[in-house]
Amino acid sequence: MSELKQLYQEVILDHNKQPRNCYVMDCANKSADGHNPLCGDTVKVYLRIEDGVIEEISFQGAGCAICTASTSLMTESVTGKNVEEAKNLFDEFHHMLTGVADEQGVELGKLQVFEGVREYPVRVKCATLAWHTLNAAMEGEDEADPVTTE
Amino acid sequence: MASPVATATRTGLDVEQIRADFPALHQEAHGRPLVYLDNAATTQKPRQVIDTVTHFYEHDCANVHRGVHLLSQRATVAYESARTTIKAHLGAADSREIVFTRGTTEAINLVAQSFVRPRIEPGDEILITGMEHHSNIVPWQMLCEATGAELKVVPITDEGELELDRYAELLSHRTKIVGVVHVSNALGTVNPVKEMIELAHAKGIPVLVDGAQAVPHGAVDVRDLDCDFYAFSGHKAYGPTGIGALYGKREHLLEMVPYQGGGDMILSVTFDETLYAEPPHRFEAGTPNIEGAIGLAAALEYLEALGADAVTAHETELLDAATKRALDIPGVRLIGAARRRAGALSFVMDGVHPHDIGTILDTEGVAIRAGHHCAQPVMQRFNISATVRASFGVYNTTNEVDRLIEALAKVKEIFG
């Protein structure tokens, strides 16, 4: 049960129940669809990037608690960051989930609550779907093909 | 290790003795005795199957149909005897109506490519149902794309049954084949395939039945059904993975040309002309999965010894008990409440995603499947992305139903 509590921390349960920045953004200038073919979960990430800075980010969709909470917390973490900072944060986040040692010293802050996911390898993709989608949105044209976790 | 269950249930199966036959059941998962309720994905294998496969490799390993030496003869006899066992299990008239395949998927692809493709034209229709597994959707979509034919789909009711009125209406002079699942892997629904076959035959339309989830759970009689084709997989019926079979009426198989060429499927080969072997070998190009076929026969013999009716009765008892108790949990909603169900209990829980339930149950030692079960159109029909599916086999017990329900209580504890 303790490992489970480590996975389903209060912050995660809270963001799952009341996800932040969960709306369709009419004034988005970038967006992308993400899809986890293993479970059928989908997420759409909207961005308003101005001068290389993420001024506004929102999402629709998601799925399990890990996926939904990760998407919600991601939107909070990258707001106000520039594209490069957001990418570095994803790298660091991914390293934490896959157990690779911290090399860059990027502060994960609240995202640290997903540390427990490392013990559940099949759930890592749940936590990273939103980030892959964010990456695709930042890099791609507005109507890019859906990105997948595979 | 084994939980204290009633050894002889009302239904007549000695479940304790059955459990003793399955080595993989006797282990812990995350510190708890394993409760394996993912049988619709694949079943565990009894000692009898494992020993049969091992015996083949230790004593009879040789290629089939081509050696004059002793081992090759023994391998060939074992392989062809397996075909006879499958014939008998399905109630077919003739062993030559049984084609070994990699599984249900390959069997359906064989029918699509070798039976339907040569007789289909642009504007023709292929009729399937809304509760098919992807394996009985995608091969037909590919065929439609290649030929300009159209895929028609029989809708599902809110209870998870087929709309039979719509089915009858959708059978048209353009319909070249009906593909229908016998037992739905995502909903557990048992479809009235016999009645559906009758309706199709009245219009001269052949029918393929996907029996992947039916063969493990009870008696199948292809002659009583009068189906044209019946496909199933070994690994869902206590046999090895990578082996399955297609039953096809002899008259159909005789007129089908192979879609895979190679060794073991020919009478003679020159660079000008190749003469194909007679069915079924015509459709078994290359060295077959010999140990798989033999192992599958051992699995079906195991089921035969238990008795199909006893198996059905035991599993129905578990399914009914699990359904009733799951529905007692606030917020649990059944997906698929058909009058006739077999094998699988599919449900969702308010406010908790099936994947989270799957993880929590796993830590309690309970293995279930969470996801779309390779039946995404079913999920779309019910406006969900996934379900929790607990599926039962011959070795499951009422104690294990208790464990499932207790584990679901843990989900409530965490998610409130």
**Residue of chain B with shortest Cα separation from A125:** B355
The reply to whether residue A40 touches residue B354, judged by beta carbons under 8 angstroms, is no
CA pair distance B231, B348, nearest whole angstrom: 30
Domains and CATH numbers, chain A: 2-141 (3.90.1010.10)
**Residue of chain A with shortest Cα separation from B410:** A1
Give the number of A-B residue pairs with CB atoms closer than 8 Å: 54
Q: Is B276 helix (H, G, I), strand (E, B) or coil?
A: strand
Q: At what angle do helices A124-139 and A83-98 cross, to 10 degrees?
A: 160
**Which chain B residues have any C-beta within 8 angstroms of a chain A C-beta?**
351-356, 359-360, 363, 370-372, 376, 379, 385-386, 410, 414-416
The per-residue pLDDT for range A46-75, each reduced to its tens digit, is 999 999 999 999 999 878 999 999 999 999
In 3D space, the residue among A92, A68, A66 whose CA is nearest the CA of residue A81 turns out to be A92
Does residue B300 carry a pLDDT above 50? yes
With 0-12 / 13-18 / 19 or more C-beta atoms within 10 angstroms meaning exposed / middle / buried, residue A108 is middle
In whole angstroms, how far apart are CA B37 and each of A62, B15, B361?
27, 15, 11
The reply to whether residue B414 touches residue A4, judged by beta carbons under 8 angstroms, is yes
Q: How sure is the predictor about B2, in pLDDT bands with cuts at 50, 70 and 90?
A: very low
- Tracing tokens 């427990």 back to the chain, one arrives at A116
**Residue of chain B with shortest Cα separation from A13:** B415
A58 in Cβ contact with A24 (< 8 Å): yes
Give the residue numbers of B marked as catalytic. 374
B338 in Cβ contact with B131 (< 8 Å): no
**Percent of chain B at pLDDT exceeding 90:** 89
Q: Chain-centre distance of CA B39, in angstroms?
A: 10
Q: How sure is the predictor about B1, in pLDDT bands with cuts at 50, 70 and 90?
A: very low
- DSSP for B122-166 reads TT-EEEEETT--GGGTHHHHHHHHHHT-EEEEE-B-TTS-B-HHH
B127 in Cβ contact with B175 (< 8 Å): yes
**Residue of chain A with shortest Cα separation from B30:** A1
Does residue A147 carry a pLDDT above 90? no
Q: Select from B351, B359, B372 the Cβ nearest to the Cβ of A40.
A: B372
Q: Chain-centre distance of CA B364, in angstroms?
A: 28
Instruction: Provide the shortest C-alpha distance from residue B154 to chain A (in Å).
Output: 23
pTM for the structure as a whole: 0.92
CA pair distance B31, B365, nearest whole angstrom: 7
What is chain B's mean pLDDT, rounded?
A: 95
Q: How sure is the predictor about B271, in pLDDT bands with cuts at 50, 70 and 90?
A: confident
The reply to whether residue A42 touches residue B359, judged by beta carbons under 8 angstroms, is no
CA pair distance B378, B389, nearest whole angstrom: 13
The reply to whether residue B355 touches residue A126, judged by beta carbons under 8 angstroms, is yes
Q: How sure is the predictor about A31, in pLDDT bands with cuts at 50, 70 and 90?
A: very high
The reply to whether residue A65 touches residue B415, judged by beta carbons under 8 angstroms, is yes
Name B233's bridge partners: B244
CA pair distance A128, A38, nearest whole angstrom: 13
Instruction: Provide the shortest C-alpha distance from residue A39 to chain B (in Å).
Output: 5
Instruction: Provide the shortest C-alpha distance from residue B413 to chain A (in Å).
Output: 11
Average pLDDT over residues B352-381: 94
pLDDT for res A87: 95
Residues of chain B neighbouring A41 (CB-CB closer than 8 A): 355, 385-386
For B368, the token pair is: 């279930």
Q: Chain-centre distance of CA B127, in angstroms?
A: 20
B410 in Cβ contact with B364 (< 8 Å): yes
- DSSP for B90-134 reads HT-S-GGGEEEESSHHHHHHHIIIIIIGGG--TT-EEEEETT--G
The reply to whether residue B355 touches residue A1, judged by beta carbons under 8 angstroms, is no
pLDDT for res B385: 87
Which residue of A18, A39, A66, A117 is the best one to mutate when testing the B interface, meaning the one whose CB has the most B CBs within 10 A? A39
CA pair distance B218, B222, nearest whole angstrom: 13
A70, amino acid identity:
S
| DSSP collapsed to 3 states, B220-253 | CCHHHHCCCEEEEECHHHCCCCCCEEEEECHHHH
Q: How sure is the predictor about A141, in pLDDT bands with cuts at 50, 70 and 90?
A: low
Residues of chain B neighbouring A1 (CB-CB closer than 8 A): 363, 410
CA pair distance B392, B390, nearest whole angstrom: 7
B401, amino acid identity:
V
pLDDT for res B367: 98
Residues of chain B neighbouring A3 (CB-CB closer than 8 A): 363
Instruction: Provide the shortest C-alpha distance from residue B3 to chain A (in Å).
Output: 22
A87 in Cβ contact with A138 (< 8 Å): yes
With 0-12 / 13-18 / 19 or more C-beta atoms within 10 angstroms meaning exposed / middle / buried, residue B391 is buried
Cis peptide before B280 (omega within 30 of 0): yes
Size of chain A, expressed as the number of residues it contains: 150
Instruction: Provide the shortest C-alpha distance from residue A65 to chain B (in Å).
Output: 7
CA contacts within 13 A on the Cβ side of A83: 13
Does residue B328 carry a pLDDT above 90? yes
B225 in Cβ contact with B86 (< 8 Å): no
pLDDT for res B93: 96
CA pair distance B53, B244, nearest whole angstrom: 15
The per-residue pLDDT for range B238-269, each reduced to its tens digit, is 999 999 999 999 999 999 999 988 888 888 88
For B397, the token pair is: 């017990």
Domains and CATH numbers, chain B: 15-33+307-415 (3.90.1150.10), 50-305 (3.40.640.10)
pLDDT for res A100: 76
- Tracing tokens 């089939």 back to the chain, one arrives at B64
| Least confident window among A34-48, A67-81, B219-233, B344-358 | A34-48
